[in-house]
Amino acid sequence: MTKLRSIKDIELEIIQKNIDWEILANIIPKKRSKVGRKSDYSDGQMLRVMILQDIESIEYDTDMARKLKSNPSYKEFCGFIDKTPAHDKISRFKRTLKPKTLKKIHEKMDQILEKSRVFDNDELCGDGTKIPLPIHANIGSWGATSGNDKFFGLWLMTMNSTNTELVRDFNIGTAKIGQVVLMKGLIHNTSITEMERLGNNVYLDGIFDDHETRQHIFRGWNKIPKIPYNPRNSKIKKAKDLPDDNWRLVFTPGIRNEEKFKKDCRPRTGVERENSRLKQWTLIGRIHEKAIRAFRTTGRYIVNQMIISMISTQVRALAHRIQELMQPVAIQYTLKNF
């Protein structure tokens, strides 16, 4: 089975051999201006540079440009024969990409992983991860966690696969908006396809215990919302004491059996592990430090880096899956016709 912990150290050669980058590069809008000469590097090559930079945790574009020039395996991975892009070319390419373009690439990768049957017999679990930023960052705001710990920054809300722990969909917003509102936006506007092929349950934390969230998962997604009872602003402190006419019982049968319900909700811990690994293994974990040192780090850069890190895990997972099947040629043919 494709698990995040099994793809962390996947060899670059395996990724290079099994990923068709043009499928992803074709999502990037083409420049229509006829002024100036054609770029020396294709979108596919520059996309590979970004993914490689995240996989190898190379924080600065100057370091990336230097290593591209001196490391033959990096050069081969990105498809460069002789010349390699300077750091300003890499930075410029990143600046021109809009978050919505990277979101489409993430969606395409999720669909390809779905077609590759990575998510068979799978379910969904969701959670929020705080992304602290320095106060001078032009994109953050003050907010609080469910434990009322105040922080300045963003929320990254994710809907993950319980089996593979991969991020299947996400929503990013300022801390002020809050987890609950952002999660509702994710649930109402999800890009996840083939819902009918997934299992019956969607696991969320107790902070998301509200009527709208449970109702949409139950009626919109046709799934059971496995959300623990949250006694906030209620005289009823225990789920076992909920009356028979409580609205939660309509959407989540069995919620009153707290011990069994807690045991059934163990798959939700997958999203917590994945969020932790995203911070450890990708450049998401260095956003705060980078924003402090690079005072002019833009909001677009911060959001783009978060999405790139999620795409890099998808790329590794797909390469691992294809290698696992030991049918790279056949699989790539089906992907090209996707």
Note whether 139 and 270 are same-domain residues.
Answer: yes
Note whether 253 and 150 are same-domain residues.
Answer: yes
Note whether 78 and 172 are same-domain residues.
Answer: no
Note whether 78 and 14 are same-domain residues.
Answer: yes
pLDDT for position 282: 66
Average pLDDT over residues 255-276: 78
Residue pair 192/103 in contact (Cβ under 8 Å)? The answer is no
Q: pLDDT tens digits for 151-190?
A: 999 999 999 998 888 999 999 999 999 999 999 999 999 9
> Is residue 31's pLDDT more than 80?
no
Note whether 69 and 146 are same-domain residues.
Answer: no
Instruction: Tell me the three state secondary structure of residue 59.
Output: coil
Instruction: Tell me the three state secondary structure of residue 15.
Output: helix
pLDDT for position 23: 95
Between the CA atoms of 269, 275, 277 and 278, what dihedral angle is there, to the nearest 10 degrees? 160
Domain count for the chain: 2
Q: How confident is the model at residue 40 (pLDDT cuts 50, 70, 90)?
A: confident
- Domain membership of residue 178 as a residue range: 122-274
Note whether 210 and 140 are same-domain residues.
Answer: yes
Note whether 146 and 181 are same-domain residues.
Answer: yes
pLDDT for position 323: 84
Judge whether 309 lies within some domain.
yes
Note whether 85 and 204 are same-domain residues.
Answer: no
pLDDT for position 178: 95
Q: pLDDT tens digits for 101-142?
A: 999 999 999 999 999 999 988 999 998 988 888 888 888 899
Note whether 241 and 323 are same-domain residues.
Answer: no
Judge whether 287 lies within some domain.
no
Considering the chain, what percentage of its residues have pLDDT values greater than 90? 62
> Is residue 198's pLDDT more than 90?
yes
Q: How confident is the model at residue 10 (pLDDT cuts 50, 70, 90)?
A: confident
Note whether 180 and 64 are same-domain residues.
Answer: no
Judge whether 107 lies within some domain.
no
Q: Please give the radius of gyration of the chain, using alpha carbons only, rounded to the nearest integer.
A: 21
Average pLDDT over residues 56-61: 91
Average pLDDT over residues 295-315: 84
> Is residue 334's pLDDT more than 50?
no
Judge whether 288 lies within some domain.
no
Q: pLDDT tens digits for 80-101?
A: 998 999 999 999 999 899 999 9
Residue pair 324/6 in contact (Cβ under 8 Å)? The answer is no
The sign one gets for the Cα dihedral 129, 96, 45, 110 is positive
Judge whether 12 lies within some domain.
yes
Crossing angle of helices 43-55 and 87-96, in 10° steps, is 100
Note whether 140 and 250 are same-domain residues.
Answer: yes
Rounded CA separation 97/329 (Å): 31
DSSP letter at 35? S
> Is residue 269's pLDDT more than 90?
no
Q: How confident is the model at residue 336 (pLDDT cuts 50, 70, 90)?
A: very low
Q: How confident is the model at residue 2 (pLDDT cuts 50, 70, 90)?
A: low
Per the model's pLDDT, the better-predicted residue between 152 and 273 turns out to be 152
Per the model's pLDDT, the better-predicted residue between 85 and 194 turns out to be 85
Considering the chain, what percentage of its residues have pLDDT values greater than 70? 82
Per the model's pLDDT, the better-predicted residue between 117 and 327 turns out to be 117
pLDDT for position 335: 45
Q: What is the mean pLDDT of the chain?
A: 87
> Is residue 3's pLDDT more than 80?
no
Note whether 54 and 158 are same-domain residues.
Answer: no
Judge whether 281 lies within some domain.
no
pLDDT for position 119: 92
pLDDT for position 77: 96
pLDDT for position 110: 97
pLDDT for position 138: 80
